[in-house]
């Protein structure tokens, strides 16, 4: 069967395309933004990628068009698909029909930490011999690809609250029918489709309504927004986790940066974890993953031992290079809460060393300016915060940032950012590039420019 994916390089759609390929289908896809790492893994799996959304990409007609949620009416391929009466479906619906209905689904939801927590959970199950299937909106270091059908009965999925498709405005995760559900946190996001926090909470309550009574809901002990959803009605037993404070699953930190802590279950230490990750947010992610694995029979000590071998996720504080004593990271954080937590973890790790945060406000919520007044506080732990004002941003960064102390600067060209970093970064500095997109290839361009800078200053 020939499946054509519209929007194939999105994190969800790309992973879904891999699942379809593993199920034996011929898979092709179109996208306007073909860039690594998703494009690379798709091509390595023999999936043909086509740039843009030309009607010719649907000729001859595929057996089924799988439509990504980035597609809308007016898109040339969508209009051709409808005019020609081609068979089509959404990605979440196709996945539910073809695979998830036969599996025990462990879904990881929430505003932050979905990719990392689902990667941790999939690795724990894999490392303990359960051969899970998984679909993750990123590429976990312990796996060669972002999705796999697996060989066992369990399936781990990153469960996104974003809408399903232009013809199905429910959140993606209502299609997944989880038996084990993690809710990491809930904050206001996706301002392009949700008018307010209450609208997001309503979608999460739709999700709660379909978790069976024999399942388990795993959530933070002190998140008021999550608690408000549960108070609307919950028919499934739950357990709680907390990085700090009382909960069923908690942590006792041995180091401030979160690289060493004890895992506590019902007040008793059950295991100790020393790993390369940092930050309180990753401790919380780990506790949620251990709790979810426990629900399907993995002992806490075994789960924590697996996390000691966890290799992280691409684009989540991934060290992509070091030149002349300067360390460069790639990070996906694009919401102020995630930005702040990530930089706080790095600050605990590097102490007084200088940190440059280089940020692109690229998400739909950022483009709308929803969080613009919390941007300056989010970068408090960085010595310098350099912002890229891309063409098409409907608001001026200068009106929202605190520019008084010279720590924050605004650039309108990526090459100007690279030139400034080459002039000002020195031995021992840390540069964190934060964006949920390609950022005009700044990562590789910077690494190529820094050696020249290094030779110049010697």
Which pLDDT score is estimated for 440?
83
Q: Using the 8-state DSSP alphabet, how is residue 144 labeled?
A: S
CA 211 to each of CA 31, 106, 176, 234, 289: distance values in angstroms, whole numbers, following the listed order: 34, 11, 10, 9, 18
Q: Name 330's Cβ contacts closer than 8 Å, sequence gap at least 6.
A: 314, 315, 318, 320, 433, 443
Residue at 313 is within a domain = no
- DSSP annotation of 250 reads E
What pLDDT, on a 0 to 100 scale, did the predictor assign at position 458? Answer: 34
Both 36 and 142 in one domain: the answer is no
Residues counted in the chain: 458
Beta bridge partners of 330: 318, 433
Q: How far apart are CA 68 and CA 266, in angstroms?
A: 42
- Element containing residue 251 per DSSP (H, E): strand 249-253
Distance CA 226, CA 275 (A): 28
Eight-state DSSP code of residue 169 = E
Q: Is residue 35 situated within a structural domain?
A: yes
On whether residue 312 sits in a domain, the answer given is no
193 and 299 belong to one structural domain: yes
Structural domain including 344 reads 318-457
Q: Is residue 245 part of a domain?
A: yes
- The SS3 call for residue 27 is strand
Claim to verify: residue 197 and residue 340 sit in the same structural domain: no
Residue 316 pLDDT: 79
Cα dihedral sign for 375, 381, 383, 386?
negative
Q: Which uninterrupted H or E stretch holds 260?
A: strand 260-265
Q: Which of 71, 90, 109 is the last residue of a domain?
A: 90
Q: Report the alpha-carbon distance of residue 192 to residue 243 in Å, rounded.
A: 31
Residue 244 half-sphere exposure toward CB, CA atoms < 13 A: 7
Taking the mean position of all CA atoms in its chain, how far away is CA 37?
A: 13
State whether 79 and 110 are in the same domain. Answer: no
Distance of CA 444 to the CA centre of its chain: 21
Q: Kindly state the tokens that stand for 376.
A: 């300056």
Q: Which of 255, 283, 307 is the last residue of a domain?
A: 307
Cα atoms found within 13 Å of the Cα of residue 436, Cβ hemisphere only? 18
Same domain, 110 and 194: yes
Q: Are 315 and 442 in contact (CB under 8 A)?
A: no
Give the tokens for residue 166.
Answer: 């232009």
* Residue 39 covered by a domain: yes
- The ranges of the chain with pLDDT < 70 are 35, 37, 363-370, 452-458
Half-sphere exposure of 270 (CA within 13 A, CB side): 22
- CB–CB of 50/29 below 8 Å? yes
Q: Which CATH number covers residue 235?
A: 3.40.1190.10
258 and 110 in a common domain: yes
Check whether residue 203 and residue 251 sit in a common domain. yes
**The CATH number of the domain where 382 resides is what?**
3.90.190.20
Of 261, 264, 307, residue with least CA distance to 122: 307
Apex 251 CA angle, 247 and 252, nearest 5 = 125
Structural domain count, the chain: 3
Query: Rounded to the nearest 5°, which phi and psi values hold at 347?
Result: -60, -45
Q: Which of 281, 307, 333 is at the close of a domain?
A: 307
Give yes or no: residues 447 and 378 share one domain: yes
Q: Output the domain CATH number for residue 78.
A: 3.40.50.720
293 & 331 share domain: no
Same domain, 301 and 252: yes
| Same domain? 333 vs 242 | no
Rounded-to-integer distance, Cα 250 and Cα 266, Å: 8
Tokens of 351: 């102490």
Count Cβ neighbours within 10 Å for each residue of 298-319 and write b for 16 or more, e otherwise.
bebebbbbbbeebebbbbbbbe
Cα 32 to Cα 49: distance, rounded to the nearest angstrom:
10
Same domain, 287 and 215: yes
Residue 253 contacts by C-beta under 8 Å, 6 or more apart in sequence?
260, 261, 283
Could you read off the pLDDT of 79-118 as tens digits, one per residue?
Answer: 999 999 999 999 999 999 999 999 999 999 999 889 999 9
**Integer distance in angstroms from the first to the last C-alpha of the chain?**
59
Pairing of strands 216-220, 430-434: unpaired
């Amino acid at each position: 069967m020939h499946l054509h994916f519209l929007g194939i390089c999105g994190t969800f759609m790309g992973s879904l395309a891999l699942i379809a390929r593993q199920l034996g289908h011929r898979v092709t896809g179109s996208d306007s933004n073909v860039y690594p790492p998703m494009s690379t893994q798709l091509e390595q799996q023999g999936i043909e990628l086509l740039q843009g959304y030309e009607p010719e990409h649907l000729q001859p007609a595929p057996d089924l068009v799988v439509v990504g949620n980035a597609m809308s009416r007016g898109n040339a391929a969508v209009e051709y698909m409808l005019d020609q009466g081609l068979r089509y479906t959404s990605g979440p619906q196709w996945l539910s029909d073809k695979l998830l209905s036969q599996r025990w689904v462990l879904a990881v939801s929430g505003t932050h930490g979905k990719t990392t927590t689902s990667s941790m959970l999939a690795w724990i199950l894999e490392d303990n011999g359960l051969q899970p299937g998984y679909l993750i909106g990123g590429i976990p270091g312990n796996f060669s690809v972002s999705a796999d059908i697996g060989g066992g009965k369990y399936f781990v999925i990153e469960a996104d609250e974003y809408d399903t498709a232009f013809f199905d405005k429910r959140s993606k995760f209502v299609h997944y029918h989880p038996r084990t559900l993690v809710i990491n946190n809930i904050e206001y996001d996706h301002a392009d489709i949700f008018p307010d926090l209450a609208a997001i909470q309503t979608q999460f309550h739709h999700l709660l309504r379909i978790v069976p009574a024999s399942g388990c809901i795993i959530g933070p002990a002190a998140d008021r927004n999550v608690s408000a959803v549960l108070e609307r009605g919950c028919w499934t037993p739950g357990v709680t986790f907390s990085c700090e404070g009382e909960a069923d699953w908690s942590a006792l930190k041995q180091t401030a940066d979160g690289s060493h802590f004890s895992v506590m279950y019902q007040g008793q230490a059950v295991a100790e974890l020393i790993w390369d990750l940092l930050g309180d947010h990753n401790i919380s992610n780990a506790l949620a993953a251990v709790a979810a694995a426990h629900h399907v029979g993995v002992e806490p000590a075994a789960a924590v031992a697996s996390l000691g071998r966890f290799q992280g996720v691409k684009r989540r504080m991934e060290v992509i290079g070091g030149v002349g004593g300067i360390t460069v990271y790639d990070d996906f954080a694009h919401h102020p809460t995630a930005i702040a937590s990530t930089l706080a973890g790095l600050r605990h790790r590097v102490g007084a060393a200088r940190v440059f945060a280089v940020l692109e406000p690229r998400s739909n919520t950022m483009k709308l300016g929803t969080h613009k007044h919390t941007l300056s506080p989010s970068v408090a732990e960085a010595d310098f915060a350099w912002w890229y004002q891309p063409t098409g941003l409907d608001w001026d960064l200068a009106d929202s940032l605190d520019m008084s102390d010279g720590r924050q600067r605004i650039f309108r060209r990526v090459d100007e950012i690279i030139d400034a970093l080459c002039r000002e970064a020195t031995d021992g500095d840390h540069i964190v590039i934060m964006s949920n997109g390609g950022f005009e290839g700044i990562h590789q361009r910077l690494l190529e420019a820094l050696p020249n800078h290094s030779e110049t200053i010697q």
